[in-house]
Chain A
Amino acid sequence: MNTAAAPAIELIGIDKRFGAVHANKNINMLVPKGTIHGIIGENGAGKSTLMSILYGFYSADTGEIHVNGKPVTIRSSQDAISTGIGMVHQHFMLVENFTVLENIVLGAEGGALLQGGEDKARVALKKLADDYELEVDPDMLIEDLPVGLQQRVEILKALTRGAETLILDEPTGVLTPAEADHLFRILRQLKDQGKTILLITHKLREIMAVTDNVSVMRRGEMVATLKTANTDPEELAELMVGRRVLLEVDKGAAKPGEVRLRVEGLTVKDEWGVARVDNVSFNVRDGEIVGIAGVSGNGQSELLAALAGIHKAVAGKIMLSGETIDPVHEADPAKMRERGLAHVPEDRHHMGLVLPFEENENAILGYHRSTQYGEGFDLDPDKVRADAVVKIKKFDIRPDNPRLKTANFSGGNQQKIVLAREMERDPKMLLVGQPTRGVDIGAIEFIHKQLIAMRDQGKAILLVSVELDEIRSLADRVLVMFAGRIVGEVSPETDEGEIGLLMAGINRKEAAE
């Protein structure tokens, strides 16, 4: 009885710094065996660092880890694996041009030659497939598998290594609600077989749906561990943020005007000829926010890129302010900007900013050819810096130093640099992708307010976000995208479950037939 009561995982006084960043502060946590334990917190709260320490990816500066009641030293992932801990990473740790089988045996080959280990793995996979509905063809290449199956391979990797405790880091980010539900079913099955699950997420819904206990992290600290049954989303949100949060955004009714953007039959293909945006048509009016909901990877990024002129489309028509643009032959981001289309890209680190640049240099990105910054070929740094100072003041960007390297600003302030650049030129139309990804709550409120204010000035806004809550609270109309198509238009008040079904490509009317 005593041994059975020993917790699967116990963390005692875990502390970790990265230079000046104190990622984990004296963390204590207890995870009973055979439970699903959620860890929730904002971006940057220290969840992933904590789990990486448990998985031996980093080592803690101080603190102890106990597994099944015994202290263990986990210096590497190898140590973690041999103590029965497995991890499914947010970004899959798979070799894409390897087969499923090769990925499964990698690191657990069972001998110097591959043949024996691969044969054993085949048998093990068969058994796991039977036990947990975890079927996958061992000879398929990873790059040919859909995302959901790739995740399954990750889970299988952990299970074939004999994991008793399974850590899942934001596992549903790439899944449709239906796929996520299937994942949760698997997790419950694993729990019933006595496995312990650690689920890291920032989605309250998932915590409520599947966990037994939940630990809340905030700014590197563990602020609470609760029984899921005894709490509710509001309490968890408050714990996460440290104060009461308005989950709703305060806004009046939209007053839609003329059609600003009309998209007809837009089709975008990727380099392999697969249609990522498939015959999409919609319009956006002045004074309204149109939200595009959908699971990440269903063509939203490609849609934004095509509208902004970054990627060529293969078919379709774009009309902006009444002017017809051929997105197949005329794709040019500079021209789109001249026409009054501003674009806050989904990924500010990879697209929106040049991190080693000084702040002022980023404040002109895309608008650098303007004569405002110098005649002809010239670029006048004094003019660039003067312009940056104005924007810094208006958007309360901190620190207010235009010569500071952009990489040294926080995520929220970096996003403000982008927003200031895109919103301050009085654009006619604004494309916004994931405006609050990786941004702290304070900045989220600021950014949301700015977007609403812009709408109320009569600007047309197209908002793409994978956060359904964000879409529902900001948008005036919601378009749902699935597999490159717009599969439905709903009002933001529509029931979350119904939008979820659309996001999974299931149209209720069709399903009824």
Chain B
Amino acid sequence: MSSPFAKLPAWVDYGLMPVTNVFVGFLIAGLVVLFIGESPLNAVAILIDGAFGSVNNIFYTLFYATSFIFTGLAVAVAFHAGLFNIGGEGQAYVGGLGVALVALALDRYVPWYVTAPLAIAAAALFGAAWAYIPAWLQAKRGSHIVITTIMFNFIAASFMVYTMNKYLKPAGAMGPSSRPLESGSFIPRLGQVLDYFGIKSGSAPANLTFFVALLAAWLVWKLIWRTKFGYEMRTFGLNPSAASYAGISGTRVTILTMLISGGLAGLMAVNTILGSVHKIELDFVAGAGFVGIAVALMGRSHPVGVVLAALLFGALYQGGAELSFAVPAISRDMILVIQALVILFAGALENLFRPFFAQLFTPKAATAGA
């Protein structure tokens, strides 16, 4: 009986294996494409061109990636403290309410650089607030945070429909959404920055929030590996009894971590609302919170990994949109399939190929006895 968790060289464990897992996920996605009678290679070509074929396309990719960096970091931060926050979707949704309230109040009176920082703060605050209740319930009452955050996604959906219908909807409007925002809340697009230098780059919604996302990734790295609180998070995440022995309060770690996690998820709304759609509308999060799960798993909860995985998913979203135009049989739902396969292979089946790699890479001595 060979142990399924044999030790492997670090580069295999942290490099080759995750890459193989993701690759297999994509391979299966390719089979799905074959199954519906299209050419996977052709699809990949269109997808890559769609994601990176022009500055405009790249900026679309970056726009999506920005949202996914936030939601991916949200999941990753919680993972380090041993918490599985499935509630990023709801936290981002409620974070949007914070953004909308600030923007609706200010957009007619002040320039964007006054609105944006306040909106960012509000997004983080509202997202954190929505994460607070499940966090408190987990810390104080032992209610399983996976279940409560799922429940809070649904509660957020109802709450937001109610709030938008009741308070934000302009008179006479049909659907639940706010009035269109005005320029005092528009975060400049990256394209506008390039325009300034005389480079034509189209109208893609990638905006300065992208840099906020990168900053957030750096801060998360610093938090986890260079601060005492990060040490406490990791201790608690890996061994809660050792944490209590060391005088680390599980309540404090759980609540603070979830506040940070919810806040990060909430920031996703800034990118979408102030950078692109310029109003708050029904279901604007559109699954980005859930993409965060795939991004965090694929990025192995490391901020660098999260950024890379977010870029990959950004490319999938953008390239996938182009692909569904070019090949109608491959609808955008394909992205969801890929997302699922990545979660499956990078997450639940992460050790699938371990025995195989163990055979390849473990020293001969261990196999001599058989």
Q: Report chain A residues within 8 Å CB of B225.
A: 381
Shortest CB distance B239–A (Å): 5
Verify if B232 is at the interface (C-beta below 8 Å from A).
yes
Name the residue on B nearest A336 (C-beta). B247
Verify if B241 is at the interface (C-beta below 8 Å from A).
yes
Name the residue on B nearest A384 (C-beta). B231
Residues A345 and B228 in contact, CB atoms below 8 Å apart:
no
Task: State A18–B1 Cα separation when bound (angstroms).
Answer: 8
Residues B247 and A366 in contact, CB atoms below 8 Å apart:
yes
Task: State A369–B232 Cα separation when bound (angstroms).
Answer: 10
Task: State A352–B239 Cα separation when bound (angstroms).
Answer: 10
Per a CB cutoff under 8 Å, which of B2, B6, B242 touches A353?
B242
Q: Report chain B residues within 8 Å CB of A364.
A: 231
Verify if B366 is at the interface (C-beta below 8 Å from A).
yes
Residues B1 and A59 in contact, CB atoms below 8 Å apart:
yes
Shortest CB distance A20–B (Å): 5
> With A19-B366, A20-B366, A309-B247 in contact, do A350 and B241 touch (Cβ < 8 Å)?
yes
Task: State A365–B228 Cα separation when bound (angstroms).
Answer: 11
Shortest CB distance A343–B (Å): 7
Interface of B is mostly: helix
Shortest CB distance B351–A (Å): 15
Q: Report chain A residues within 8 Å CB of B227.
A: 377-379
Task: State A20–B242 Cα separation when bound (angstroms).
Answer: 28
Shortest CB distance B241–A (Å): 5
Q: Report chain A residues within 8 Å CB of B242.
A: 350-354, 365
Binary contact readout B238-276 vs A (1 if CB under 8 angstroms, 0 otherwise):
110110111100000000000000000000000000000
Verify if A447 is at the interface (C-beta below 8 Å from B).
no
Shortest CB distance A334–B (Å): 3
Verify if B87 is at the interface (C-beta below 8 Å from A).
no
Verify if A308 is at the interface (C-beta below 8 Å from B).
yes
Binary contact readout A343-366 vs B (1 if CB under 8 angstroms, 0 otherwise):
101000011111111000100111
Interface extent on A, as a size class?
35 or more
Shortest CB distance A77–B (Å): 15
Residues A365 and B369 in contact, CB atoms below 8 Å apart:
no
Verify if B226 is at the interface (C-beta below 8 Å from A).
yes
Verify if A368 is at the interface (C-beta below 8 Å from B).
yes
Name the residue on B nearest A18 (C-beta). B3
Residues B239 and A350 in contact, CB atoms below 8 Å apart:
yes
Q: Report chain A residues within 8 Å CB of B246.
A: 333-334, 365-366, 368
Verify if B52 is at the interface (C-beta below 8 Å from A).
no
Verify if A17 is at the interface (C-beta below 8 Å from B).
yes
* Interface of chain A residues 284 through 343 with chain B (CB within 8 A): 308-310, 332-337, 343
Verify if B339 is at the interface (C-beta below 8 Å from A).
no
Residues B231 and A379 in contact, CB atoms below 8 Å apart:
yes
Max chain B Cβ within 10 angstroms of own Cβ: one of A18, A22, A337, A379: A379
Residues A332 and B230 in contact, CB atoms below 8 Å apart:
no
Verify if A61 is at the interface (C-beta below 8 Å from B).
yes
Q: Report chain A residues within 8 Å CB of B228.
A: 368-369, 373-374, 377-379
Task: State A353–B242 Cα separation when bound (angstroms).
Answer: 6
Residues A22 and B369 in contact, CB atoms below 8 Å apart:
yes
Q: Report chain A residues within 8 Å CB of B230.
A: 379
Verify if B370 is at the interface (C-beta below 8 Å from A).
yes
Shortest CB distance B129–A (Å): 23
Q: Report chain A residues within 8 Å CB of B3.
A: 18-19
Verify if A98 is at the interface (C-beta below 8 Å from B).
no
Verify if A409 is at the interface (C-beta below 8 Å from B).
no
Verify if B235 is at the interface (C-beta below 8 Å from A).
yes
Q: Report chain B residues within 8 Å CB of A355.
A: 238-239
Interface of A is mostly: loop
Task: State A22–B365 Cα separation when bound (angstroms).
Answer: 12
Per a CB cutoff under 8 Å, which of B229, B239, B366 touches A354?
B239
Residues B247 and A333 in contact, CB atoms below 8 Å apart:
yes
Verify if A184 is at the interface (C-beta below 8 Å from B).
no
Shortest CB distance B104–A (Å): 35
Per a CB cutoff under 8 Å, which of A17, A19, A333, A356 touches B6?
A19
Q: Report chain A residues within 8 Å CB of B235.
A: 354, 357, 365
Task: State A377–B222 Cα separation when bound (angstroms).
Answer: 10
Task: State A336–B219 Cα separation when bound (angstroms).
Answer: 32
> With A18-B3, A361-B231 in contact, do A332 and B238 touch (Cβ < 8 Å)?
no
> With A18-B3, A59-B1, A350-B239 in contact, do A368 and B232 touch (Cβ < 8 Å)?
yes
Task: State A308–B241 Cα separation when bound (angstroms).
Answer: 13
Task: State A357–B366 Cα separation when bound (angstroms).
Answer: 25
Residues A345 and B370 in contact, CB atoms below 8 Å apart:
no
> With A365-B246, A366-B246 in contact, do A356 and B238 touch (Cβ < 8 Å)?
yes
Verify if A58 is at the interface (C-beta below 8 Å from B).
yes
Shortest CB distance B217–A (Å): 18
Task: State A308–B239 Cα separation when bound (angstroms).
Answer: 18
Task: State A379–B6 Cα separation when bound (angstroms).
Answer: 32
Q: Report chain A residues within 8 Å CB of B229.
A: 377
Residues B244 and A357 in contact, CB atoms below 8 Å apart:
no
> With A59-B1, A61-B370, A378-B228 in contact, do A354 and B238 touch (Cβ < 8 Å)?
yes
Q: Report chain B residues within 8 Å CB of A308.
A: 245
Shortest CB distance A464–B (Å): 15
Max chain A Cβ within 10 angstroms of own Cβ: one of B231, B238, B370: B231
* Interface of chain A residues 60 through 76 with chain B (CB within 8 A): 61
> With A368-B228, A379-B230 in contact, do A345 and B245 touch (Cβ < 8 Å)?
yes
Task: State A379–B233 Cα separation when bound (angstroms).
Answer: 13
Task: State A310–B243 Cα separation when bound (angstroms).
Answer: 10
Q: Report chain B residues within 8 Å CB of A15.
A: 369
Task: State A19–B246 Cα separation when bound (angstroms).
Answer: 33
Residues A368 and B231 in contact, CB atoms below 8 Å apart:
yes
Max chain B Cβ within 10 angstroms of own Cβ: one of A15, A337, A357: A357
Q: Report chain A residues within 8 Å CB of B245.
A: 308, 310, 333, 343, 345, 351-352, 365-366
Task: State A309–B239 Cα separation when bound (angstroms).
Answer: 18
Q: Report chain B residues within 8 Å CB of A309.
A: 247
Q: Report chain B residues within 8 Å CB of A366.
A: 245-247
Shortest CB distance B225–A (Å): 8
Task: State A17–B245 Cα separation when bound (angstroms).
Answer: 35
Binary contact readout B1-45 vs A (1 if CB under 8 angstroms, 0 otherwise):
111001000000000000000000000000000000000000000
Shortest CB distance A188–B (Å): 37
Max chain A Cβ within 10 angstroms of own Cβ: one of B1, B242, B365: B242
Residues A351 and B231 in contact, CB atoms below 8 Å apart:
no
Q: Report chain B residues within 8 Å CB of A333.
A: 244-247
30 contacts between A and B (CB under 8 A): A17-B370, A20-B365, A58-B1, A310-B245, A332-B247, A333-B246, A334-B247, A336-B247, A337-B247, A350-B242, A351-B239, A353-B239, A354-B234, A354-B239, A355-B239, A356-B238, A357-B235, A357-B238, A365-B242, A365-B246, A366-B246, A366-B247, A368-B228, A368-B232, A373-B228, A377-B227, A377-B228, A378-B227, A379-B231, A381-B225
In the complex, besides A355-B239, A379-B228, 6 extra interface pairs with C-beta distance below 8 angstroms are A58-B1, A309-B247, A350-B239, A361-B231, A368-B232, A378-B226
Closest 4 pairs (CB-CB, A-B): A334-B247, A333-B247, A366-B246, A351-B245
